[in-house]
Every structure is written in C-alpha cells, then in structure tokens.
Structure 1
C-alpha cells in the first residue's frame, strides 16, 4: 500500500520525536477498525480512553501510536507522546491539508449532509482519487480524522461538517479550507443549544470562514434563511451558485414526479434543460440532488456524466432505504428513516410515506421517536405533527419517547396504535399489529447512538421477524 505518513512528517507536524522509525499507510482512531500499517491515535472520549487499546493496536499491526504523555512505554512499536492527542490529530490534519493539492468541498446543513456527501463521492471517485468522511464522522474529531487521511494523489477531498454549538464549524472550516462549500438547508435542529433559526443559520455559515475570496458557495434558494446565507457568503467574497425551485436559481427544479419507486426530475441546470430519474422518493431528495450537481458545476465538471452516475446512487441505511419483506404470508414495505430526525426531515419522511404505492387493504403506519435538541419549542414541534399525519392520511401511529407522548395524546383515537418511552417495550406491539400489505416507516432522533439511530431497533426487529429482504432500494 502507498505510504501516507513517514516518521519525519509526523514528527514535524506534532513537534515531538518518535521512539522508533515507521511508515504509516493510514490514520485510525478505533483499534477495532485498525489495519496493519495504520497510525493509531489514542483519543480520550466520555466513555473510552484510547490509550487503553494501544496494546491491541500494536497486536493488530499498527505502524505507530500517538499517545498521551504519562502512558507506559510500549516496546511493540514506535510511539509519539503528546500533551493532547486531539490537538495532535488536528495538527496532523493541518499538515495533510497544507501538503494536499486536492480540491476541498465542504458540506454542511441541517439534514441531508451524509447522503449528499456520499452521492458526490460516488460521482467524483469514478474519475479521480477521493477522500471523504467515513459514515457521519463530521464533528470536532471526525473532520480532522478525515483530513489526516487525505492521500497525496487525491484530486478531491469531501469534508462533511456537523455541529451542536456555535463555533464548531468555524474550527472545521479553518482546518479544511474548502474551495467549494455546499449548505444543503438550514432548519430547526439544535434549537436547544442555539435558540433561533437565525443563530442556526449563522452557525452553518461558519463554513465560509476558512474559505478564500473567489471560492464558491452552493446555496439552497428554497430555504427560509437563504438571504441570510447569501449575504454571509457575499461578505466573504464568494461566488454564488444556487439551487432550488426559485426562477433565479442556477440549478432550477422545474418539476419532479413519482412513478412507483422512481423519482423523475425536470430541471434547468446552468441554462440547460435536463431530465433524469433517481431511485427513491420525495421532493427533498430531488432538491438535494441539485445541490450535488451544483458542486459539480462549481468544479467545472461534465454535468451529463455526473447525472448518469447520480442515477445509480442508493441512499445509505437509515436514510430512506426501502425493504420489501415477506411477512405473515404476504409482503410489507418498510421505509427505514431511522438514522435521525428534525421537524422538517420528519415532514419530508411522512410525505414519502403518503406517496408510497398502496396495495388493496394497505395501511400507512408511522413509528415515530422523539425529535431532540428543539429547546423551548420541543412540545409544540411534536404536537405540530398531528396535522401533518392527518394530511398525509397516515392510518396508524406508534410513538416512542417522552416528547412524542405530547403528540400521541392529541391524535384521533383511531390513529393511536401504541406508545412507550423505550424502544424495546414497543417492539412486540408493533410486530403484533403489522399485517401483509402494510407500509411502515420508522423515524426519530439518533440520540446517543453513534452509527445507527435509536429507532433502528424497530427496523431490525421487523427485518428479523420477516424474511429480509425481497428487495431494497434507497429513497
């Protein structure tokens, strides 16, 4: 494998000396995912101290380890001892960014970041070497971790940037220094920490802080905070590329319509009419696809080739994947939206549930978990889903969590299927209720679950109860 980091490069980045010579082919934070030749960095988190796994890392073939000062000397391999391993990761990321000639694309937004990042990666890696965040590793350690793994031959780096508080994306952007920044949308998530939609917009627009004049900002014209984001980007002297339904949009969605599980799109892309289809459902996905193509336009790449590749994209687990499952002698359709949720993404998912193709005797069933970090408006936001459920003709609703109880209590009795505070307590009732022909959708906030959302428990239980999976596709 190609060498990513040599001893002298790491020593220069960190300002410390290694205990032995090494060449590393990658950087890793989790010893369970380590491959022989990786440089292991022992971060300390709220639940685990990476230094405790240094022995395991060397046993699996780590080339070297970055460890906190005071940790016992390891004879198994070369070590670099530092005061702060997270700072060391950021220093290594900064060195990687400085030596890289890749075009860096930063992506942020309230929802759709990971799906957009993955779709863009699919397009770009067909023609060039690309490094992008693993899964949804987009926080204060995920961004430098991604940058530290930038390869010298990479033509593109795609850096997804998430946040919970003001200032987080500022730090990420200054480290990544994007050439292009995509803001998918700005919605009412993280209200508990930030307090207002305007504050959320300002936090998302911190992605422009690390950009140089002449960089390109790709913005959503349909967003309520578009004008605020536009003015912020203009203050940074960025070129604006817009997408959405507005007549002024650089990439304008004229129409989208559903035929079974295909989403057909008619759009004017930088002055050229294009028609194409995607596997999936929902206007929100049509709009996000134009955001992806907005980045392609910003990079000056061929639009037709990008569209051809985009049409093959499948959304990842928990973000709209559909499963057709053999269940009790018939078939059900399970829509897995379990990864995360906020008010707007919840509305979009319920709209998808409404538009799913019905069979005779089909019922639309929603399994909804708490939407978190909504602050003072949390109860109101949950109760506001009542009208959305009625408008979308949802037949049965299961709810899970303290906040969702406020919705459950105001639903019509004919719609209430069951409520508990814990996922495990509700699963038996869900499995007992589902019948052949039903269309079932599970969605809620991720909570403390790192890779799969809290609501994935329902998805997993239904898949196990049925004969998973006759077919699956992204929406």
Structure 2
C-alpha cells in the first residue's frame, strides 16, 4: 500500500517531534481497529486514555503513534493528541487538490454520502474517498480527513450535529467545494427550540464553502428559503433539488421497478438523465436528485453515477434487506435499526407499505426529541395504519403515547427492550411476512436484526 503519512509529515502537521522514521498506511484512534501499518492516535478523554492501549496497538501491527506521554514505541510526541488529530485532518485537506463535497441533514446524510462515493468512484476506482460509518462528529470528521490519500480526486464527508455551532467548526475543517443539505426534520429536538432552529444549524455547513463553491438545498423543504438565505453569503452558486416544479434538479418521471427500486427521469438545465435507483421509497428519489446535482457540480460523470445508483445495495442499519429463514419458508427483513426520527419513521413505513405479504413493524423509541417526544411518537399511529401494518412491536418507554394512539386501530404489543422484542417477533413471524426494524440506535434493535440474520446464514 502507498504511504499515507511519513513521521516527518506527521510531525510537521502537528507541531510535534518524531522519535524515529516511519511511514503509515492508515489512521485510527480505536485500538480495536488497529491493523498492520496504521498510525494510532492515543486520544485522552474524561473516561479513557488511549495511551493505555499503546501495547495492544503495536501488538496488532501499528507502525507509529501520536502521543502526549513518553513511550518506547515509534511515535510523534505532541502537547495535545486531540488537537493533533485536528491538525492532521487540516494538513490532509491542504494537500488534497481534488474536489470535496460536504453532506449534512437530519435524514439521509449517510446514505447520500455513500451513494455519492459510489457514483464518483465508479469511473476510476480508488479516486474517491469518504468518511466511513457515521464518522461525522468532532473526532470522526478530522479522522476521515486524515485518512484521505494525497492523490484523491473526490472527497465526500458527512457532517452531523446536535447543538448549534458544531457544523460551523466541522465545515471549516472540511472546506467543501459543494455543501449539500438533505432533509430537515425534528431530530435532536431536545437541544433546539424549534425545527427552524435545526435548519439554521444545518445551514452552518455553507460557512466553510471554498470560494466559488456550490450550495445544494432541498426545494421541497419548508425551510428552503431559510437555507438559501444562509447560503447566499458563502456560495457562488445555489442549486435546489426535489420532486416538484421549480427545483433545479427535478424528477419529472418516476416508476417503481419490479425489484422495489425506482426508474427516474431527471431534468436539469436543458438536460435529461434517465436511470434506476435500487433503493425503494420516495425519499430516495429526492436523495437521488441531490446526488446527481452534487456529481454534476464537481464535474463527475452523470451516466456512470446513474449506473452506480442502480447497483448500490442497502446499508446495514439503513435499509439493508435480506431473507430470514423460517421453518417453512422465508420472511423479508428491512434493516433500519441504526437510527430514527419522525421523518425517517414515516419514510420507511411508506416503504413497508409497498411490500407484499403481512407487514410487521418492530419500532424502537425515538430519542432526543425533548418536550415534543410524546406528540411525535403518538403521531406515528397514522402512518403505521396507512402502511397496512398487521402487527406492531413497540420498544421502549417513550413509545407509550404511540401505544395509546394505536388502541383499536392496529394489533400491537409494547415491550421494554430489544431482547423482549426479539422474543415477541420470533413468536409471530411467519413465512411471507415483511418486517421493518427501526429505532434509535440506543434501543439496540440491531440485536433483533442480528438474530434474524443468523437465520439467513444458517
């Protein structure tokens, strides 16, 4: 593998001192992820100290470390390892001469980021880089930057937040040429006075735009004009995407395919592009318009982007599908277990509505909704009923208002935790069923999915 960083480059970037000459091919601050040739950042925090895991990191093949304490292992010594992570991320961004896209939003940012990476990497595999998993916070973003190869042509970075001001800091690290906002929804409402305040916080992404940069904004959002106003001081060009007349990138025709995806004809400028997306749901049609707009803005190949969208599979926890083996047949599992907010709940229930067979929904509570939690949960009764759900398993104390709203409308059980949900699902699941599993990550519904996946592999 090509060297990602030399010890001299790391020392220069972080204002540190190298104990030896070494080169690294990867970067991580999680000792469990260290592989041969990696740089291990010994971060310190309130509850842990990465220096305790230096022995483990080097036993697993680390080539060097960034430390703030003395060690006999090859290292770059710095005053503050967390500050050094930021500095290494900034240095990586400075040496990268390609195009960078930043993605944020309340819903759909990880899927959009992954689709953008697939679309841009399709032409020349290895030319694109993106943040992995959901590394979108104050440590994940600089880590993702630090991992970017120096010859990258396209970088795609997800940025998240749950407080005002966070995105302003992250976007100035990423310095995107294109800043894209997906859907604005009441996620993290416990930290904001209103949904409009969430839109304002998401609009901070435009503050880091490079000169001549492009802002991409959801046309169909009630906060469209608010986001446009936030973008105007920073963006040379503002583009909108969506499903309705007036959007710069618009789906003028769409038709569901036999495999559950959508065939789309998109119109923008005087051009049209027809392509298929493998992901089901109207929300993915809108996401596809944003993706095409961003690919076009950085000079990517739109036809290749369309092919990549047709081939893209679902992400674990975010729409992955598989068939679970049952004693006398199979059941479809839709894995949306990674996270949930009111908008994403409605979107995925609409996807479930289009499936064949009996529909079962395992729904975990939505967290960080503050004083609005009860009403947001109760309001899910209508989309659950509209989706034709035959049996709902509601997980967590915050689901109590929804349980009350569903009385006499849909068959359901209300359980305290994922383990009980798994037992209840096992008792009712039958061949031909379609089951949606979705909830906030802390509910741990991924364990329900894992149990079903074991059946699929049996």
TM-score normalised by L of structure 1: 0.92
Contact 2:395 2:415 in 1 (8 A): yes
Give yes or no for contact 2:244–2:250 (8 Å, CA) kept in 1. yes
Following superposition, the deviation at residue 32 of structure 1 comes to 2.1
Question: Residue 122 in 1 paired to residue 112 in 2?
Answer: no
Q: 1:461 to 1:37 in 2, by over 3 A?
A: closer
Aligned partner of 1:460 in structure 2 is: 450
**Aligned-pair distance for 1:339?**
1.1
Alignment of 1:28-427 (within 5 A): 28-45=28-45, 47-68=47-68, 71=69, 73-75=70-72, 77-128=73-124, 129-260=127-258, 261-356=260-355, 358=356, 362-413=357-408, 415-427=410-422
What SS is found at the alignment partner of 2:425? Answer: helix
Aligned residues of 2:206 and 2:235 also touching (Cα < 8 A): no
Structure 1: 4+ residue segments shifted above 6 A: none
Q: Deviations over 1:65-94 (max 9, x none)?
A: 1123xx3x322x222333321111001111
Q: Does the Cα contact within 8 Å between 2:358 and 2:434 map onto a contact in 1?
A: yes
Distance (whole Å) between structure 1 residues aligned to residue 332 and residue 46 of structure 2 = 38
SS at match of 1:289: helix
The whole-number CA distance in structure 2 between the counterparts of 1:461 and 1:416 is 23
Is 1:440 aligned to residue 428 of structure 2?
no
Distance 1:191 1:110 in 2: 11
Give me the whole-angstrom Cα distance separating, in 2, the residues matched to 1:343 and 1:378: 10
- Cα deviation for residue 414 of structure 1 reads 6.2
How far did 1:106 drift? 0.5
What is the Cα-based RMSD across aligned positions, in Å? 1.7
Tell me the SS of whatever aligns to 1:230: helix
CA distance in 2, matches of 1:444, 1:429: 16
| 8 Å contact from structure 1 (residues 396, 414) kept in 2 | no
Please list every run of 5 or more consecutive structure 1 residues that lacks an aligned counterpart in the other structure. 448-452, 470-475
The separation in 2 between residues aligned to 1:300 and 1:143, in whole angstroms, is 24
- Deviation, structure 1 residue 46: 5.5
Distance 2:89 2:376 in 1: 39
- Taking the aligned partners of 1:275 and 1:13, their CA distance within structure 2 comes to 45
* Cα contact 1:250–1:271 (8 A) shared by 2: no
CA distance in 2, matches of 1:15, 1:274: 49
Range with greater deviation from structure 2 (372-381 or 411-420)? 411-420
Checking the alignment, whether the CA contact within 8 Å between 1:113 and 1:160 is kept in structure 2 is yes
